[in-house]
Amino acid sequence: MRLILIRHGETDWNKQGRVQGLSDLELNETGRRQSESLAQALGDEKVEALYTSPLKRARDTAYAIGRLHPVEVVTIDGLRELDVGEVDGLTYEEMVCYYGDFFERWMKDCTSVCPPGGSSMPELQERAWAAIQDILRRHQQRGKSEGDGEEVVIAVAHFFPILSILCKALGLELSECRRMKLELASITTLDFNPERTVLVSLNDTCHLKEEGQ
């Protein structure tokens, strides 16, 4: 099965450099343009299923992609962003001011400290990977029964869920997640084969460059 992981388009908080966890912001104008560019980039894919985080910024991105494919957009709670608790909505400068000790530890290793009032990265990885395993079981079984070639599935999610999924799929320690770059409206592709999982592409943003997004 081929899994295409999409990070949602831009929101006003992304533009302002604010931490964005479970706060449910919509895409801004740039984010909507990015979603349309994503849709065009993926328009030729034979998509069997389209899943999304329940948060608006991911759902809006998924619906833009889904307009070019005859599939239902299915919401999966396990794909939602990390709950960052009390730092949700703060800029990095505000985090340093109000939560200096946490910020210092977070920047050194985001997997070893829990945001105040939020959830930990290991907890996030557990639920995100469970969601991916459920998708894999569903589509690998269907692909075998139908015998019509490789399934292509799209999942629209967020920064930390996608990084945690990549670490798990590739056998990396979760603490290595910050070594990977993942921009807004980027495309990352994994092939799940019986022998091994293969990273086909990471943080592909070529579809955004023509319009300077």
Catalytic residues: 8, 81
Measured between alpha carbons, how far is 87 from 123 in angstroms, rounded to an integer?
Answer: 18
Measured between alpha carbons, how far is 72 from 74 in angstroms, rounded to an integer?
Answer: 6
Measured between alpha carbons, how far is 57 from 72 in angstroms, rounded to an integer?
Answer: 17
Instruction: Write the burial class of residue 54 (CB in 10 Å: 0-12 exposed, 13-18 middle, 19+ buried).
Output: middle
* Helical packing angle, 29-41 and 56-66, nearest 10°: 40
How many CB atoms sit inside 10 A of residue 13's CB?
A: 19
Measured between alpha carbons, how far is 45 from 149 in angstroms, rounded to an integer?
Answer: 13
Measured between alpha carbons, how far is 90 from 208 in angstroms, rounded to an integer?
Answer: 27
